[in-house]
Amino acid sequence: MAPLSAPLSRRRLLQLGVGAGLLAACRPADGPQLLLAEGELPAAWLQQLPAPWRSQSLADPAAVQQGVQHTAQPGLVALSDGWASGLSPQLLQPFGAPRLWARLAPFSAEVARLFGPAGAGELAFPWAYSPWVIALRSRADLLARRKEGWPLLLDPSLRGRLVLPSSPRISLEIVKGDFAQLERLRAQALAYDERDGLNLLLSGKADAAVLPLQRLIPLLRRDQRLAVLWPESGAPLSWQLLLRPAVSPPQRLPQQVPLEWLGAVLEPPLLEGLLARGWVPPLPQAQLAPVARRFPAAMAELLLPGDALLQRCWSLPPLSLAQQLTQQNLWDAAAPRS
């Protein structure tokens, strides 16, 4: 297999199913390019991208990840932390925006380094985070027991009424790798699908789902049946990142990042609109408070959880191959027996 840094042939791109879109995205143009998957950036922010920058949307993060490896790299790339961690560091260059990082809360630092060692340079701008939380539909009884946190998912009334994430890792994280709890959790599952999980919840086929908070915030005002629990014990975090692909060939001049545009996501008036749609920048809580408190109390509590709760949350560094195999074996062994 060719190394990640090797240029991809046209035939290989087409085999991957992303060739047509990727080749179109990487054609030379007058201005630098921001490459993203559809829906990965808030429309209001994307519309403010200054000239001569231009954006190009591809079908999914896999296509964007392949775009970073192409010889005509974009100037910026938007990816989640899971997809970004799959890139070789040699494909990226330091982001080079220290004033942006000075504005962010400390819990974003390891993600900005893409989980590199302390003191390593920042390779990503972590512009938003989202905890995995418990969403309940018309379950006032479980909501009243919210202090129990993640063990609520093991309640007998949720058997066959619970949607878990498609990624086994999230389920393993919320039971802290405890095999007995994992077996019980898997026995509860109706489906493993966060994309359709919200539809299953809203249609009444499920009573509970483990979902990213970002997808739930916009619904809380419109659907009074929904309630969201962010367990006091903490939650795994997912991140939205911007990255700078390394310049290739070396003689090309690097593109200057649009710093004013990047900074706009951290302050009004854009900040309030982003929060309303569930995109939460990792700003210090004191800076978020004046904006977050304009929302209804239940939403404000989720947007502004407090430093103590955030310190109990954790990000997900990439796993080694051995760790992946260990988790897969644990997951398979915990499967319900028919």
Q: Using one digit for the tens of pLDDT, what is the confidence trace for 72-127?
A: 678 999 999 999 988 888 899 999 899 999 999 999 999 999 998 887 889 999 99
Query: In this model, does residue 71 exceed pLDDT 80?
Result: no
On whether the CB atoms of residues 158 and 207 are closer than 8 A, the answer is: yes
> What is d(CA 227, CA 208) in angstroms, rounded to the nearest whole number?
10
Q: Select from 92, 162, 158, 157 the least CA-distant residue to 120.
A: 92
Look at residue 189 in the predicted model and tell me its pLDDT.
Answer: 97
Look at residue 225 in the predicted model and tell me its pLDDT.
Answer: 93
Q: Which CATH superfamily is domain 130-236 in?
A: Periplasmic binding protein-like II (3.40.190.10)
Look at residue 248 in the predicted model and tell me its pLDDT.
Answer: 60
The pairing of beta strand 189-192 with beta strand 124-137: unpaired
- Give the domain ranges of the chain: 10-128+238-311, 130-236
Query: In this model, does residue 145 exceed pLDDT 80?
Result: yes
For residue 85, the one-letter residue type is S
Per DSSP, the three-state class of 57 is: strand
CATH topology of domain 10-128+238-311: D-Maltodextrin-Binding Protein; domain 2 (3.40.190)
Q: Select from 10, 335, 23 the least CA-distant residue to 188.
A: 335
- Per-residue pLDDT band at 337 (split at 50, 70, 90): confident
Look at residue 249 in the predicted model and tell me its pLDDT.
Answer: 54
- The 10s digit of each residue's pLDDT in 198-252 is 999 999 999 999 999 999 999 998 999 999 999 999 999 999 999 999 876 554 5
Let me know the angle formed at the C-alpha of 81 by 78 and 86, rounded to the nearest 5 degrees: 95
Same fold for the pair 10-128+238-311 and 130-236:
yes
Query: In this model, does residue 5 exceed pLDDT 90?
Result: no
